[in-house]
Amino acid sequence: MTAPATTWPGGAGVFGAGVLADMACIVSEWSMPPLLTDGEIDAALAELPHWRRTGQSLVRTIEAPTFPDAIALVDRVAVVAEEADHHPDIDIRWRKVIFAASTHSAGGITESDLVLARRIDEEARRAGL
């Protein structure tokens, strides 16, 4: 089955399933990523020191110096999440932001969540957090 072309957020350009596959983070009606094993999750967490497993989610808490800095980080993460079509649960408590990555449609943690966690880490580093 061939995936239909889709426009980028904001309508700029068109991309097909090949570009999405290159992003290594696909959660769609055409492809359900497999759940990771406990061993795979543990190995990945060894490379994601700011993250922990809580139930069927990967969770990271980031405290920003100011409330606007926390909101700016959420905005940056929203952009990468939209690009990947995989969105974290986000809890904002003043300067503290809690990100939870889980593939709800698969019922747990998939490779898509690891990719998202790495992207959140990257955005936090870019923001100096």
CA–CA dist 75, 82 (Å, integer): 11
**All structural domains of the chain:** 33-126 (3.30.1360.20)
What's the pLDDT at 32? 75
What's the pLDDT at 19? 41
Digit-by-digit pLDDT tens for the chain (129 residues) are 344 444 434 444 444 444 444 444 444 445 678 999 999 999 999 999 999 999 999 999 999 999 999 999 999 999 999 999 999 999 999 999 999 999 999 999 999 999 999 999 999 999 999
What's the pLDDT at 21? 43
CA–CA dist 39, 10 (Å, integer): 39
What's the pLDDT at 33? 84
What's the pLDDT at 30? 54
Whole-number Cα distances in Å, 120 to 51, 58, 123: 11, 12, 5
